[in-house]
Amino acid sequence: MSIWNVAIYARVSTDKYDQKESIPAQIQGLKEWILEKSKEEENSIYNLVNVYEDCGFSGSNFDRESFIQMKEDIENKKINMILTRDLSRFSRNYIMAGYYLEDYFKAKDIRFVSVLDNVDTLYEFNDIIPFKNILNEMYIKDCSRRTRDGLRQRMIRGSSIASKPPYGYKFEESFKENIKIIKLIPAENEATKIVVKIYELYLKGWGFKKIADYLNSIGVRPPSWHVKNFGKSKFFKWNSNSIRYILTNPKYSGQMVQGRWRKVSYKLKTVKALPKDQWIYGGEFKGIIPKETFDEVQELIKKRQRILRYKNDEVHLFSGVLKCGDCGGSMCYRKKYNGYKCTNSQTGKKKCTAHSIKEEYIKQIIINDLINYTKDLNKEIFYDELKEIIKSNNHIEELKSINSNLKDIDINIKRIYEDRLKNIVNEKNFKMILKEIQDEQGRLEKRKDQIENEINNNREHMLGLICSKIDHILSFNELKRNDLEELVEKIIVFEDKDVKEKHIQIFYKFNAQ
């Protein structure tokens, strides 16, 4: 007498209503199979121990709640038979499916039955099973490819593929030739104002953490609260990562840039960041932040990442700029002292004296120094140089992205012609797809012409903005962190130990002789 403690396993890949409906159908069919077998086999008893359902889980991996529970029950010897409708419900990963069928289930004395595939490991391991598993995996791989291509076309059209709009934005739907386009527009609410405030604070010299702490202190709800809608949860707080995301996302300057990350494999959830030349640029729209402000912030972030390190993300005026004249170590800010001391005076392998110096003292020396230097300076020299810089550098990143997308479109056009010649695509679909691709090609080429015309045409507006910044720097009414980063390379603090007097040596990023 054989006693089979049966586990029914059913799975669908999404939680959509139409697929959810197939779960009860799978289970009902398998229960009927158990009843029939019980009648046919007098020497066998079939006990249905449990039904395991995974709804909304891909067949490409085994990280599924009910499957994990079923495996635990196998380890605890609660079941010795698994019953499923077909191999694709069990797995679409042929390597892992082979492992379970040929190794794991055999080691645990588990009988595996796939009804529609006529597979029953009690009798023999069917040689066709590995091939069916490969076909199942090829199916999901093909689905992944088609889904990815579809998303790419939407991104090229400038349609947002996100499930939720970025913080401070809302979705607006429109139709172009019966094709839905999901655009982003500023929400004009508290979140939109907070985005503007974040950029203002960073330009004033605040770090990511300081901005996050400030927003938490005044009770501003973070992006996670708007997504989850858990208004009273204490766990939803601003942090450095959320600030960094807002400050580095091109969408906040009105650039529909998508495809910045990609899954490593359709089998894995791991994603990796892509280089800028692989991002997909889908046009421009009304942003919350001016593009000039966004570009300025990106330059500041690069500078601070490259040469500056801040304790607790706190950006003080001379952090990372001051160096000790004796040991060469950094000078760190001391709040109680309102100034800086050598980091090796208390800790470190190199023993050194404090070299303590007040922040206000250094500040006044630099301001007076720069005022004297610029007293007779002809600013027209700066303006002439700026004209050439603007012509050569403006919109360079956007042009690179457009050229990359145009190359992809050329490849897609060639591919769709090849598919037509092979009769993979019928004439109607060929014309429809080709027109869509050519429309996008025309839009990108038009935008490319606009950018090139802007670079070659009158740049007075941009020049005026930059010249006003120069006027601000050269007035030196107040020395700000941004001004310091643009003008000063490093400052070395020396100390005469006999008389305990300090003097500083300033290295500018320009020739101050």
Read off the pLDDT band of 478 (50, 70, 90): low
Express each pLDDT in 81-113 by its tens digit: 999 988 777 876 656 777 787 778 888 999 998
Band the pLDDT of 309: cuts 50, 70, 90. very low
Closest CA to 309 of 343, 336, 275, 335: 343
pLDDT at 476: 54
Assign 480 a pLDDT band (cuts: 50, 70, 90): confident
Model pLDDT, residue 62: 76
pTM summary value: 0.40
pLDDT at position 311 is 47
- How much is the pLDDT for 430? 81
pLDDT at 377: 52
Average pLDDT over residues 263-267: 52
58 or 339, which is more confident: 339
Burial class (CB in 10 A: 0-12, 13-18, 19+), 396: exposed
Tokens of 140: 């999901």
The confidence score (pLDDT) of residue 70 equals 93
Looking at beta carbons, which pairs linking 112-116 to residues 24 or more positions away fall under 8 Å?
A: 112/81, 112/82, 112/84, 113/81, 113/82, 113/83, 113/84, 114/84, 114/85, 114/86, 114/87, 114/90, 115/29, 115/30, 115/33, 115/83, 115/84, 115/85, 115/86, 116/85, 116/86
Show the DSSP H helices in 253-327 as ranges: 291-307
Lowest mean pLDDT among 146-150, 200-204, 277-281: 146-150
Q: Give the least confident one: 120-129, 317-326, 366-375.
A: 120-129
Structure tokens that stand for 166 in this block: 């970025």
Number of residues assigned to the chain: 513
For 422-470, how does the pLDDT look when each residue is reduced to its tens digit (9 = 90+)?
787 788 878 888 888 888 888 888 888 877 776 655 445 444 544 555 5
pLDDT at 410: 85
Alpha helix stretches (DSSP H) within 52-128? 65-75, 87-90, 94-99, 105-107
Helix ranges (H only) for 221-342 are 223-228, 240-248, 291-307
437 vs 415: CA distance, rounded Å: 12
Top-level CATH class of 169-302? alpha beta
Strands 331-334 and 339-342: antiparallel
pLDDT of residue 14: 65
Q: Is 28 exposed, middle or buried (0-12, 13-18, 19+ CB in 10 A)?
A: exposed
Q: Is 73 helix (H, G, I), strand (E, B) or coil?
A: helix
- pLDDT confidence tier of residue 308, bands split at 50, 70 and 90: very low
pLDDT surpassing 60 at residue 131? no
Q: Do residues 100 and 87 lie in contact, with contact meaning Cβ atoms separated by under 8 Å?
A: no
Query: Which structure tokens are listed for 292?
Result: 């000039």
Task: Say how far apart CA 447 and CA 294 lie, in whole Å.
Answer: 20
169: how many CB neighbours lie within 10 A of its CB? 26
Q: Quick one: average pLDDT of 220-245?
A: 73
Using one digit for the tens of pLDDT, what is the confidence trace for 354-378?
888 888 888 888 877 777 766 655 5
Residue with tokens 């006529």: 118
Query: How far, CA to CA in Å, does 163 sit from each of 19, 171, 224, 260?
Result: 20, 10, 14, 16
229: confidence class by pLDDT, cuts 50, 70, 90: very low
Residue 135 has pLDDT above 50, yes or no: no
- pLDDT confidence of residue 274: 75
CATH number for 2-143: choose from 3.40.50.300, 3.40.190.80, 3.40.50.150, 3.40.50.1390.
3.40.50.1390
Average pLDDT of the residues in 14-24: 61
Domain 2-143 and domain 169-302 have a common topology:
no
Instruction: Provide the 3-class DSSP secondary structure of residue 13.
Output: coil
pLDDT of the residue at 74: 93
More confident residue, 291 or 262: 291
pLDDT of residue 194: 93
The model's pLDDT over 185-215, given as tens digits with 9 standing for 90+, comes to 899 899 999 999 999 999 888 888 889 989 9
Neighbours of 114 (CB within 10 A): 22
Q: How far apart are CA 392 and CA 388, in angstroms?
A: 6
Alpha carbon of 388 to those of 451, 452, 455: distances in Å?
Answer: 16, 15, 10
Q: Which residue ranges make up each domain of the chain?
A: 2-143, 169-302, 316-378+471-508, 395-458
Q: Which 8-state DSSP code applies to residue 8?
A: E
Name the band, by pLDDT with cuts 50, 70 and 90, for residue 247.
very high
d(CA 379, CA 25): 80
Residue type, 56: G
pLDDT in tens, 385-413: 445 444 444 466 677 788 888 888 888 88
